[in-house]
Amino acid sequence: MLLPEAFRHRLARARHALFMIDYDGTLAAFRARRDLAYPDGGVREGLERVIASGTRLVVISGREAAEVSSLLGIAGLEIWGCHGAQRRTADGESFLPSLTAEQQNLLAEAETRALPVLPEGTLERKPLSLAGHFRSLPPGARAEAARDLRQAWEPLVGDDGELRPFDGGLEFRFRRHHKGRAVATLIDEEREAVAAYAGDDETDEDAFRALRPSDLAILVAESDRPTAASLRLRRRDVPALLDEWAAIGEKRREGKR
Ligand SMILES: O=P(O)(O)OC[C@H]1O[C@H](O[C@H]2O[C@H](CO)[C@@H](O)[C@H](O)[C@H]2O)[C@H](O)[C@@H](O)[C@@H]1O
């Protein structure tokens, strides 16, 4: 059993369940080619089983939702992309907040500053942010690219724009778009639900901190590190975690019949 016993009991008795989970580094291994980061074995089946067991399952990713959707290829999956600012419903309808003219100018300026310092093909343009990726660079060039990009973007940091490191890169984003906000919104929509969030990265710490004390924050990591999560699992444990969660829901459903 991977879930703490007290949480298992709460989940077994819950009338509503909410499971929020990150994509890269949690459901899929990191790859130098972002378009090839397909889910690990057993993940698709596990997610489908969780949904069928009656849980509201939401994937919350730094990527645009459509990318996660095409990598996962699961019909009827709710995905909140762009660090949770973009909402894609289970029906595939997508809602993206618009940027102000000032924000659009800031993003354009960030792109202008990034292009001369980043090797070709390492800047990812997203609807609400820009991410510089260092994973595909030779080890010796990574620190240099990270330093140069930080220096290029630092003058743009202010009340609105911020720099956030993530596993393998650095992102220029807007402060109000973060996973903690998405989690707070979902919990507000599902006040009665027993909830959990699982993720691996620095950006997932925002999500952990937005949970209620009775919810479960799961860090997916190979070794310990400072975190707001109370449980740590390895990525290879994730399919079993999904199965365990689904089995509890299935039992709850059988009990209701
Ligand atoms: O919030 P997540 O679902 O964890 O997304 C975080 C970022 O994931 C992607 O980048 C990461 O995965 C790539 C594929 O394995 C890898 O090449 C890169 O080094 C990783 O940082 C995605 O490209 C970003 O937009 C997401 O913010």
Residue 257: which pLDDT band, with cuts at 50, 70 and 90? low
Q: Is 86 in the pocket of ligand 1 (CB under 6 A)?
A: no
Q: Could you tell which of 47, 60, 63, 201 is best to mutate to test the pocket of ligand 1, judged by most ligand atoms within 8 Å of the CB?
A: 63
Mean pLDDT rounded to a whole number for the chain: 97
Q: Which residues contact 155 (CB under 8 A, 6 or more apart)?
A: none
Q: Say yes or no: CB of residue 179 within 6 Å of ligand 1.
A: no
User: Residue 197 to residues 204, 207, 231: CA-CA distances in angstroms?
Assistant: 9, 7, 11
Residue-wise pLDDT tens digits, 214-238: 999 999 999 999 999 999 999 999 9
pTM: 0.97
What is residue 256's predicted lDDT score, i.e. its pLDDT?
72
Q: What is the pLDDT of residues 124-139, one digit of tens each?
A: 999 999 999 999 999 8
Q: What is the pLDDT of residue 255?
A: 80
Cα 135 to middle of ligand 1, angstroms: 10
Any idea how long the chain is? Answer: 257
* Rounded Cα–Cα distance for residues 81 and 182 (Å): 10
ipTM field: 0.99
Q: How far apart are CA 45 and CA 48, in angstroms?
A: 5
Indicate which residue's Cα is closest to atom 15 of ligand 1. 30
